[in-house]
A and B are shown apart, each in its own frame.
Chain A
Amino acid sequence: EIVMTQSPATLSVSPGERATLSCRASQSLSSNLAWYQQKPGQTPRLLIYGASTRATGIPARFSGSGSGTEFTLTISSLQSEDFAVYYCQHYNNWPPTWTFGQGTKVEIK
């Protein structure tokens, strides 16, 4: 069973600053890694899939990188609407199971 570990649990950042979120897998995932954003009371929103491909309509300030066991989500210049919880997700091709990290909350500093 793959375990996904995100760090830090909470990240305090000022608007306009860069945010770097980490996600580590207990075993190699290749590039089967996605990132989601969730705001309070809202549904998760797909940001990144394939570790580094932005989903449709996602601003260029969001970027993903990494492969194997170490992955990073970078928000280059935080906007007010970016303060939220971010989850990484391993998606297995077959069987098609999902494993989520515990989330990183990005809050206003």
Chain B
Amino acid sequence: QVQLVESGGGVVQPGGSLRLSCAASGFSFSGYGMHWVRQAPGKGLEWVAYIRYDGSNKYYADSVMGRFTVSRDNSRNTLSLQMDSLSAEDTAVYYCAGTSNHYGEYWGQGTLVTVSP
């Protein structure tokens, strides 16, 4: 069955960096665009970033532009999100989601990132 498993979350100090990973299985990862979506505690869903199936195009929300970098390794069925210059506003559960038709067909269970002194 389809699985997306995020990892790499944890506690980091303001100004620090963290790298999230999303391991995909059960579907043709190399044929799917991938998104990152986050959810601050008790809040709604916020789109973060997108990477095309072949990695050739990447898009970011204004709130993370210049600080976050999305990448993928289709040979390892893995999606990554490098997060730099983190602030308290980045505290959230981060989900990866796969799409072949623009909407979010597959979602991971999320990994929690906490930015705190």
Contact = CB atoms under 8 A, between A and B. Distances in A.
Chains A and B are bound partners: yes
A98 B108 contact: no
A103 B47 CA distance: 14
Contacts of B33: 96
Contacts of A46: 103-105, 107
Contacts, number: 63
A92 B103 CA distance: 9
Contact of B101 (A36, A45, A49, A89): A49
Interface residues of A, number: 24
A67 interface: no
A102 interface: yes
A98 B107 contact: no
B72 interface: no
A81 to B, nearest CB: 18
Interface string A83-109: 000010101110111111111000000
A93 B100 CA distance: 11
Given A91-B102, A100-B45, 17 more contacts: A36-B104, A38-B45, A43-B95, A43-B108, A45-B107, A46-B104, A55-B105, A89-B104, A93-B102, A95-B50, A95-B57, A95-B59, A96-B52, A97-B61, A98-B35, A98-B47, A98-B50
7 contacts: A34-B103, A44-B45, A87-B44, A97-B61, A99-B47, A102-B44, A103-B44
Interface of B: 33, 35, 37, 44-47, 50, 52, 57, 59, 61, 95, 99, 101-105, 107-110
